[in-house]
Amino acid sequence: MKFTSTLKKNYEFHRLYRKGKSAVTPCLVVYAKATRRDGNRVGFTVSTKLGKAVKRNRVRRRLREIYRLHESEIARGTDLVIVARGRAVSADYRQLESAYMTALKKLELLTERAP
């Protein structure tokens, strides 16, 4: 993730939940908030309600890869939290990617693709 650092602290996640905008799809919820930073920060949440560790980690890996591939299309200076919902476990990669892009369009975060 070239332009991105990771959200790790609980208060960073809670700040986005409270003050950020959200977009909901059947597989994901994406929270976003503009910041004054040069780069983006991202965090991923996959609840234990979604299944055992193997399933949760598979969803998390897919979400990280989707973010990595589309990272250059997101406006700089944005904090994102991507929360997996129940359908994310049974969704394939293309469905997750489609849900992610739909959420970003709802939040108006997409820019022209950088080279």
Residue 102 belongs to a domain with what CATH number? 3.30.230.10
Q: Which domain holds residue 85?
A: 4-106
Tell me whether residue 68 is in a domain: yes
Per residue in 42-96, pLDDT (tens digit) is 999 999 999 999 999 999 999 999 999 999 999 899 999 999 999 999 999 999 9
Tally of domains in the chain: 1
Tell me whether residue 83 is in a domain: yes
Burial of 59 (0-12, 13-18, 19+ CB in 10 A): buried
CA gap 78, 82 in Å, rounded:
13
What count of residues does the chain have? 115
Longest dimension (CA), the chain: 39
Tell me whether residue 51 is in a domain: yes
Tell me whether residue 14 is in a domain: yes
Tell me whether residue 93 is in a domain: yes
pTM: 0.91
In the chain, % helix, strand, coil (3-state, to 5) comes to 45, 25, 30
